[in-house]
A = this chain, B = another copy of it.
Amino acid sequence: MKIALVTMNVKAGQCEENVRFMKDKIMQAREDGADLIVFPQNAVSGYLLGDTWLDDDYCRYIDSFNDDIIKESNDIAIVWGNIRYRNHRRFNAAFFAYQGMTHMRVKKNHSSPYMNDFAYFENNNINSAIEYKDDMIFALNFGNEIQLTDMNINLDARPYDIDHNLDVAGNVIYVNACGMQNNDHSIMLMEGGSCVYRNGKCLYHAPYFVEDYAIVDLDCEQEDCDKERSLLNALTMGIREFDKQVLGGRLPWVVGMSGGLDSSVTSALFVHALGKERVHGYNLATRHNSETTKSNARKEAEQLGIECREGAIEDLVAQAQETLLKEYQYNIDECPVLVKENLQARARGYLLNSFAGILGGVVINNANKVEVSLGYCTLYGDSVGAISPIADLTKVQLFDLSKELNKVFEKEVIPMGLLPNVQKNRIDWEMPPSAELKENQFDPMKWFYHDYLVEHLGNDISISKFIQSYEDGSLDETIKPWITYYGLDNPKAFIEDLQWFLSTQQRNSFKCLQLPPALCVHHKTYANRNLTQMRKDDLYIEKFKKKYELQ
């Protein structure tokens, strides 16, 4: 039996375009002699439509395409994901049609709370299976569920998660979407990588993060299924699809190139994804910016082959101070130093948006996940932009990405001097990360250790569990050397740092509401946030302090 596997770049909200694509592939599969063609979950409309799912007009419209597809099934079996909408009831469903009619329809059960399935669709977990050709029994499922039958057909719209691979085994035809779909601030990167397993052996595996069409004979030999699920490919797909689907694929991208690591990575990512003609660099210097960072920015632009205009923002900042004094009688020299730092950061945001306006383009935001999480950024200053490509990556994750970028460019587009020299239990920087807003200013983060906290705390590791692991010595081995390096094996230092970390996170979480949408590399990234202060963290910290008599 021959199966056509369609790893489809589903465009959210573009039903007509999606269905046109599906019909093309059905025609091709017919010509290729396939018995069955399989499309991903929500192939017609996309999966992440936000509150548009609550619009009855639109649900009726999406549902209406099911009949169009069923009509195509006279001489080929077709499996696809789409909603089923009847009498104001919405189900997320999978359809199995042949001989011009639907023979099986399975409704999805809720999975993750982060996708909001719960709010939009009813549950209806009734299993069913049918016989189709060669006495073969097929069942329809979602994600990685399987049933005991000859062959499971599993539809998915699974976004990439840097830490989690999907396990597929047994007898499965697994078909996933690729492309970009967003859920409010979270831009999810559908990972593709459809595959066929029979008796636990892989018969075919599509590459990740690209559209793919393949005919798989269920009686064929095993193939090499070792496909790489690379972070760089995920981000590249995300940038390309956002650029095309949200902005029409032709606007210039403006990037502030400070010569630091973050902006080096975002510039290189965009040049890699969209080509050097589409990226416009700007260095916005003050006297606090070292010659090294300026020359780094220059060199990097040269390596990438993009223009990087250099200029000073001093006069603009000076005029802002002058306006504050002359027009509004405020003397900046009598103010806390933070006010002056923010004046600089916001002058940059002001100019970057002006460049974008002048070119008719948009701004790339350069924030990384540690900065965002701790609120180490200035609203309307370095936090501006149309997209944050690295806001779900910690600084440490940028180290590997930088090496990967230099590899694909076959040259040092990210100056290696920006990466620290990491020994087993120590870290040496030629140029430690700095916002360069005042003299000798360095970022207050404990690199590697805080990266780990940002990545795991409150996500897969609860605060109580983390503190307990610290106490009983069962912490992750990768993090232990850093605990020692930063002197945190002393309980007092440990708990004070943790308290600083959590309270800084909480105090600044309001900023996250106003950040640009971000490419997500985790299923859970941007949370539905509460603005009032929670005391949940104090609870465990106080207990620890009492125990070690640290009060």
Residue in chain B with minimal CB distance to A316: B323
Asked if A357 and B342 sit within 8 Å, CB to CB, the answer is: yes
Bound complex: CA A351 to CA B330 (Å): 11
Bound complex: CA A311 to CA B320 (Å): 12
Residue in chain B with minimal CB distance to A14: B535
Q: Is A227 an interface residue (CB 8 A)?
A: no
Bound complex: CA A1 to CA B151 (Å): 66
Asked if A335 and B357 sit within 8 Å, CB to CB, the answer is: yes
Q: Please indicate the chain B residues that have their CB under 8 angstroms from the CB of A120 in the complex.
A: 113
Q: Is A51 an interface residue (CB 8 A)?
A: yes
Would you list which residues of chain A between 2 and 21 have a CB under 8 Å from chain B? Answer: 11-16
Asked if B320 and A184 sit within 8 Å, CB to CB, the answer is: no
Q: Is A439 an interface residue (CB 8 A)?
A: no
User: What per-residue 1/0 map shows which CB atoms of A515-551 lie under 8 Å from chain B?
Assistant: 1110000001001111111111001100000000000
A57-B540, A113-B119, A353-B346 in contact; A517/B535 too (CB < 8 A)?
Answer: no
A113-B119, A327-B311, A328-B282 in contact; A184/B528 too (CB < 8 A)?
Answer: yes
Bound complex: CA A528 to CA B524 (Å): 15
Q: Please indicate the chain B residues that have their CB under 8 angstroms from the CB of A328 in the complex.
A: 282, 309, 311, 351, 355
Q: Is A464 an interface residue (CB 8 A)?
A: yes
Interface centre among A326, A380, A384, A462 (most CB of B within 10 A): A380
Bound complex: CA A179 to CA B120 (Å): 28
Asked if B319 and A52 sit within 8 Å, CB to CB, the answer is: no
Count how many chain A residues have C-beta atoms less than 8 Å from C-beta atoms of the other chain. 94
Residue in chain B with minimal CB distance to A184: B528
Q: Is A484 an interface residue (CB 8 A)?
A: no
Q: Is A350 an interface residue (CB 8 A)?
A: yes
Asked if B320 and A316 sit within 8 Å, CB to CB, the answer is: yes
Distance (whole angstroms) from the CB of A77 to the closest CB of chain B: 29
Asked if A458 and B55 sit within 8 Å, CB to CB, the answer is: yes
Distance (whole angstroms) from the CB of A427 to the closest CB of chain B: 31
User: What per-residue 1/0 map shows which CB atoms of A23-67 lie under 8 Å from chain B?
Assistant: 000000000000000000000001011111011111001000000
Distance (whole angstroms) from the CB of A534 to the closest CB of chain B: 4
Q: Is A386 an interface residue (CB 8 A)?
A: yes
Bound complex: CA A540 to CA B342 (Å): 48
Distance (whole angstroms) from the CB of A25 to the closest CB of chain B: 21
A113-B54, A309-B329, A313-B323 in contact; A357/B380 too (CB < 8 A)?
Answer: no
Bound complex: CA A524 to CA B52 (Å): 13
Residue in chain B with minimal CB distance to A386: B510
Asked if B246 and A532 sit within 8 Å, CB to CB, the answer is: yes
A182-B532, A355-B330, A358-B339 in contact; A527/B51 too (CB < 8 A)?
Answer: yes
Asked if B339 and A343 sit within 8 Å, CB to CB, the answer is: no
Asked if B380 and A351 sit within 8 Å, CB to CB, the answer is: no
Asked if A50 and B320 sit within 8 Å, CB to CB, the answer is: no
A52-B534, A282-B328 in contact; A350/B346 too (CB < 8 A)?
Answer: yes
Q: Is A503 an interface residue (CB 8 A)?
A: no
List 19 interface pairs A-B (beta carbons < 8 Å), by A numbering. A51-B113, A51-B529, A54-B113, A116-B119, A116-B528, A246-B510, A246-B531, A311-B326, A316-B319, A316-B320, A319-B319, A320-B351, A320-B354, A330-B358, A335-B358, A336-B357, A336-B360, A342-B353, A342-B354
What 6 pairs between A and B have smallest CB-CB spacing?
Answer: A311-B327, A118-B118, A319-B319, A13-B534, A51-B527, A113-B119
